[in-house]
């Protein structure tokens, strides 16, 4: 019953707060900003009610310029606090509102009407709120300031400085001190407890969100790899079936021919059959290569790409010369992280690809350079650019498919780029191809991870 | 009154072995048949547009049937089908998809682009010949399409 009523009150309170204090944008976590906004607004409302009470009381008892000035100061500080909330400085605003209301309560206690029974719990109120909202140091400060003020008053009365009406006798000051000490102790213990619980809950929620995000990323990754597998199986089954149709087709024709005594076409048919079988054999070999490429064999380690390209230049020399192609490395290539042999295969395939599709260029060139170094995600992007044949931009994705060739007369089996993509993805990298169109050259952008800081130190 | 031309079948097939087998299988059956072959989607569309473009000149014979492979260079089979169905003059030309793929994704795509039939290339020449016999009989002899679309 009580909890229901309380939660109803809390709900209407939230609505009220939302109406009077629109959400503020803060640099901090949204949850924290929200709860401090709520707490600050509670505090401000409480203080305003107190001020109104004091003002009414004040008017009834006496008119005093001191209390009018205090009221103005208080209102000004609340105004400032509201502005601070609006700028997202919620905790500072809370501290300001707290200190000013505490100061006004003390001052009106001292100068205007002395510390009465009503003023006693009222004095503890800012301390309590500070305990819930602020650091324990704020509680201790406010509490000791209150005690000091009470003791000052008691001393002033003993010394005959204050009028009896505004005074506080020593026993009352002692009572007040005891009250404040016990109250503060309780607030510190429970405030700490509450804050601890709040922090734990907040940490748990953050952790939950992190786990959830991780899970979602995993599911998306799984779905993507499932889809890739499906595409792969589809493509492979189609491509492997094609030579089978040829083999069985010509084999039946050969059978019919032979049984009817015709042998003139037999040689041609056998030729077709063995050609298709050979083709199927190479498809299977390439598939095996592709499936092996998906595994990163060696523990990833720093790989100097400059080094890799020097090796490739020697390895591909004959091929480059045959195509009359110049291989250029522009600028400095950073050290990346991965399996050296696999990364060599990546660049070897990309360069061979360029030598294959020169598009009749008089001076075919392939250039490798680092185009982006993103330290925030520890990745580098390399561009392998050629001035050769290029491709239709709409085919940019298809060229990475298994056994995909843009033109049937091209030599090779259409596995090179599929292999490259598989290796790059096994390194948690990305690859995409860009071209302005047929005859405009092609650019392959390969993103690879950089070594971690400790690996760099080791190397 | 000139002799009516024999019905024409356009075989769109990039693999030369498959094209030879399909054409031979079609030819196994009696009766005149004009068989044209296109090796890729672009060539097929060019032929088809020419066949309806010239009404009297008959540079290309308007096909009674298109046998269409799906995986084709340059313009793939589905795209050929889509362009045919968007073309007022080619919309009614019957298209039988003949492919080695039995993936439901391909069938869905082919039917949603309004192919008239979907056939999977059988393994074995005897089966292929039998199938081509039915196809030829049904689409070039039984099936009727309006002369002027």
Residues 154-173 of A with CB under 8 A from B: none
Smallest CA–CA distance from A406 into chain B, residue: B73
Does a structural domain hold residue B90? yes
Copy the structure tokens of residue A240.
């492997």
Express each pLDDT in B81-113 by its tens digit.
999 999 888 888 999 999 988 888 889 999 999
Q: How many domains would you assign to chain B?
A: 1
Distances (CA, A) of A192 to A186, A200, A206, A207: 10, 12, 21, 22
Express each pLDDT in B112-121 by its tens digit.
999 999 999 9
Predicted local distance difference test score (pLDDT) of residue A121: 56
Indicate the pLDDT class of residue A202, thresholds 50, 70 and 90: confident
Predicted local distance difference test score (pLDDT) of residue A208: 94
Residue A265, sorted as left (phi over 0), alpha (psi -120 to 50) or beta, turns out to be: alpha
pLDDT of A24 strictly over 60: no
CB contact under 8 A, B73 and A407: yes
Rounded to an integer, what is the distance from CA B104 to the centroid of its chain?
A: 21
Question: By mean pLDDT, which of A188-197, A367-376, B37-46 is the weakest?
Answer: A188-197
Indicate the pLDDT class of residue A225, thresholds 50, 70 and 90: confident
Express each pLDDT in A117-138 by its tens digit.
455 556 666 666 666 666 666 6
pLDDT of A26 strictly over 60: no
Looking at residue B139, what DSSP letter applies?
I
Residue A403, sorted as left (phi over 0), alpha (psi -120 to 50) or beta, turns out to be: left
Strand pairing class (B34-38; A301-304): unpaired
User: Which of A249, A256, A406 is opposite residue B128, by nearest beta carbon?
Assistant: A249
Express each pLDDT in A357-415 by its tens digit.
887 778 888 999 998 888 888 889 999 998 888 888 877 777 887 777 666 556 666 77
Question: Which CATH architecture best describes the domain A301-459?
Answer: 2-Layer Sandwich (3.30)
When computed from its CA atoms, the radius of gyration of chain A, rounded to whole angstroms, is 40
Give me the CATH number covering residue B112: 3.40.50.2300
Express each pLDDT in A83-122 by its tens digit.
777 676 666 676 677 677 766 666 665 555 555 545 555 6
Predicted local distance difference test score (pLDDT) of residue B111: 95
CB contact under 8 A, A234 and B15: no
User: Where exactly are the structural domains of chain A?
Assistant: 15-168, 301-459
Smallest CA–CA distance from A276 into chain B, residue: B17
Domain that holds residue B45: 8-142
Predicted local distance difference test score (pLDDT) of residue A134: 60
CB contact under 8 A, A242 and B18: yes
B contacts of A405 (beta carbons < 8 Å) = 73
**Structure-model confidence comparison of residues B139 and A18, the more confident one:** B139
Task: Collect all residues with Cβ–Cβ distance below 8 Å to B59 and sequence separation of at least 6.
Answer: B50
Q: Are A459 and A381 in contact (CB under 8 A)?
A: no
Does a structural domain hold residue B50? yes
Does a structural domain hold residue B3? no
**HSE toward the beta carbon, residue A345, CA cutoff 13 A:** 22
Mutate to test the interface with B, among A245, A254, A438 (most CBs of B within 10 A): A245
Does a structural domain hold residue B148? no
pLDDT of A23 strictly over 60: no
B contacts of A438 (beta carbons < 8 Å) = none
pLDDT of A303 strictly over 80: yes
Highest mean pLDDT among A104-108, A236-240, A354-358, A443-447: A443-447
Predicted local distance difference test score (pLDDT) of residue A157: 73
């Amino acid at each position: 019953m009580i909890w229901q009523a309380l939660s109803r009150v809390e709900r209407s309170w939230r609505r009220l707060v939302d109406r009077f204090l629109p959400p503020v944008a803060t640099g901090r976590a949204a949850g924290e900003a929200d709860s401090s906004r709520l707490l600050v607004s509670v505090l401000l409302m409480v203080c305003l009610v107190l001020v109104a009470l004091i003002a009414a009381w004040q008017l009834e008892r006496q008119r005093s310029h001191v209390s009018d000035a205090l009221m103005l100061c208080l209102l000004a500080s609340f105004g400032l606090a509201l502005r601070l909330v609006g700028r997202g400085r919620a905790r500072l605003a809370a501290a300001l509102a707290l200190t000013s209301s505490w100061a006004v309560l003390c001052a009106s206690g001292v100068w205007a009407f002395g510390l009465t029974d009503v003023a006693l719990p009222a004095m503890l109120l800012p301390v309590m709120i500070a305990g819930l909202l602020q650091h324990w140091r704020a509680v201790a400060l406010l509490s000791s300031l209150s005690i000091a003020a009470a003791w000052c008053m008691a001393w002033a009365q003993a010394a005959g400085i204050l009028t009896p009406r505004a005074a506080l006798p020593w026993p009352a000051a002692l009572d007040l001190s005891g009250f404040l000490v016990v109250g503060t102790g309780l607030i510190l213990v429970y405030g700490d407890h509450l804050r601890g619980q709040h922090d734990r809950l907040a940490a748990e929620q953050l952790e939950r969100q992190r786990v959830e995000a991780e899970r979602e990323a995993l599911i998306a990754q799984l779905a993507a790899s499932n889809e890739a597998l499906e595409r792969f199986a589809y493509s492979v089954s189609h491509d492997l079936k094609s030579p089978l149709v040829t083999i069985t087709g010509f084999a039946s024709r050969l059978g019919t021919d032979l049984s009817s005594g015709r042998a003139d076409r037999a040689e041609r048919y056998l030729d077709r059959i063995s050609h298709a079988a050979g083709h199927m054999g190479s498809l299977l070999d390439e598939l095996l290569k592709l499936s092996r490429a998906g595994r990163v064999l060696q523990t990833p380690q720093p790989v100097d790409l400059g080094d890799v390209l020097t090796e490739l230049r020697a390895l591909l020399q004959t091929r480059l010369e045959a195509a009359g192609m110049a291989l250029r490395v522009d600028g400095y290539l950073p050290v990346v992280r991965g399996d050296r042999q696999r990364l060599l295969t990546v660049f070897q395939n990309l360069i061979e690809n360029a030598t294959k599709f020169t598009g009749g260029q008089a001076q075919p060139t392939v250039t490798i350079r680092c185009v982006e170094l993103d330290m925030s995600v520890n990745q580098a992007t390399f561009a392998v650019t050629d001035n050769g044949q290029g491709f239709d931009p709409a085919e940019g994705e298809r060229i990475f498919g298994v056994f995909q060739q843009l033109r049937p007369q091209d030599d090779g089996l259409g596995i090179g780029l599929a292999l490259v993509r598989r290796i790059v993805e096994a390194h948690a990298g990305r690859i995409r191809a860009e071209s302005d169109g047929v005859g405009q050259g092609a650019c392959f952008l390969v993103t690879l991870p950089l070594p971690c800081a400790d690996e760099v130190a080791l190397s | 009154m000139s002799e009516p031309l024999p019905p024409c079948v356009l075989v769109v097939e990039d693999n030369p072995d498959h094209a030879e087998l399909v054409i031979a299988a079609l030819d196994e059956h009696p009766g005149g048949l004009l068989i044209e072959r296109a090796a890729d989607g672009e060539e097929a569309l060019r032929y088809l547009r020419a066949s309806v473009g010239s009404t009297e000149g008959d540079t290309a014979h308007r096909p009674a049937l298109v046998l269409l492979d799906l995986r084709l260079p340059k313009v793939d089979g589905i795209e050929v089908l889509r362009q045919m169905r968007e073309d007022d003059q080619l919309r009614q030309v019957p298209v039988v998809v003949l492919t080695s793929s039995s993936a439901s994704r391909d069938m869905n795509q082919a039917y949603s682009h309004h192919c008239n039939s979907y056939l999977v290339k059988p393994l074995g020449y005897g089966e292929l010949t039998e199938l081509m016999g039915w196809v030829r009989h049904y689409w070039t002899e039984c099936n009727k399409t309006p002369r002027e679309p």
